[in-house]
């Protein structure tokens, strides 16, 4: 479906994509599948834990690990329980997990675009690609540069940079001014 530049800009804004004007230009002028790429990344980012310092998923992981100590991913719940016991801030846990999820998402997008890196002769010639499709499912244009766009698609708008921390120091308590100390007297010999 061909869209006008204005329709594309509106679509990019509707999905929260960064640089909607530039993306619309790439779609129209360079025939890139920019809208499909942006929508793919929006959906992919939905699988990443949100940047929520309360992080209710932490408690779910811990509970799951307690209920099934040998279950799949229970090690993560056990590790989270130990981290909480050590008083690691939930926001720090969120930062760590989100960074790992970003790295996974980046690697997966690169793999989808670049294909296998295999030197096994028996699988030579095996390849894949991700395409935009028409209404009947017929591939139309490849989604290119996904891994290059993962960072700018971060829904926080910070491109995985740390969240701003309160940097203001608490006000100093006023104390009564002390009289200057006298220098000690030199002892006579």
Q: Output the tens digit of pLDDT for each of the chain's 189 residues.
A: 789 999 999 999 999 998 999 999 999 999 999 999 999 999 999 999 999 888 999 999 999 999 999 999 999 999 999 999 999 999 999 999 999 999 999 999 999 988 888 788 888 888 899 999 998 999 999 999 999 999 999 999 999 999 887 554 555 655 555 555 665 566 655
For the chain, the domains span 1-50+103-163
Task: Kindly report the backbone phi and psi dihedral angles of residue 130, in degrees, each rounded to the nearest multiple of 5, phi listed first.
Answer: -110, 130
Confidence at residue 178, expressed as pLDDT on a 0 to 100 scale = 56
b/e burial code for range 36-54 (CB count within 10 A of at least 16 → b):
bbbbbbeebbeebeebeee
Enumerate the H helices of the chain as residue ranges.
5-14, 20-29, 34-45, 56-67, 74-85, 90-114, 146-149
Q: State the Cα–Cα distance between residues 43 and 101, nearest whole angstrom.
A: 14
Question: What's residue 49's pLDDT?
Answer: 94
CA angle 155, 88, 156 (to 5 degrees): 10
What does the pLDDT read at residue 117? 81
The predicted pLDDT at position 35 comes to 96
Looking at residue 168, its pLDDT comes to: 47
Q: Calculate the CA dihedral of residues 145, 151, 156, 157 and round it to 10 degrees.
A: -80
| Residue 167 neighbours by CB distance under 10 Å | 5
Q: How far apart are CA 18 and CA 36, in angstroms?
A: 14
**What local confidence, expressed as pLDDT, does residue 183 receive?**
57
């Amino acid at each position: 479906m061909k869209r006008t530049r204005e329709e594309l800009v509106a679509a990019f804004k509707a999905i929260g994509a960064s640089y909607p004007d530039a993306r619309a230009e790439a779609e129209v002028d360079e025939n890139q599948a920019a809208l499909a790429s942006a929508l793919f990344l929006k959906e992919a980012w939905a699988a990443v834990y949100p940047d929520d310092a309360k992080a209710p998923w932490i408690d779910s992981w811990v509970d799951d690990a307690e209920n099934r100590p040998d279950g799949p991913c229970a090690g993560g719940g056990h590790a989270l329980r130990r981290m909480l016991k050590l008083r690691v801030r939930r926001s720090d846990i969120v930062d760590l997990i989100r960074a790992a999820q970003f790295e996974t998402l980046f690697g997966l997008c690169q793999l989808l675009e670049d294909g296998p890196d295999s030197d096994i002769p028996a699988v030579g010639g095996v390849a894949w690609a991700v395409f935009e499709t028409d209404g009947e499912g017929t591939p139309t244009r490849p989604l290119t540069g996904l891994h290059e766009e993962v960072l700018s698609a971060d829904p926080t708008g910070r491109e995985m940079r740390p969240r701003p921390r309160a940097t203001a120091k608490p006000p100093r308590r006023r104390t009564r001014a002390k009289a200057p100390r006298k220098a000690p007297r030199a002892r006579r010999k």
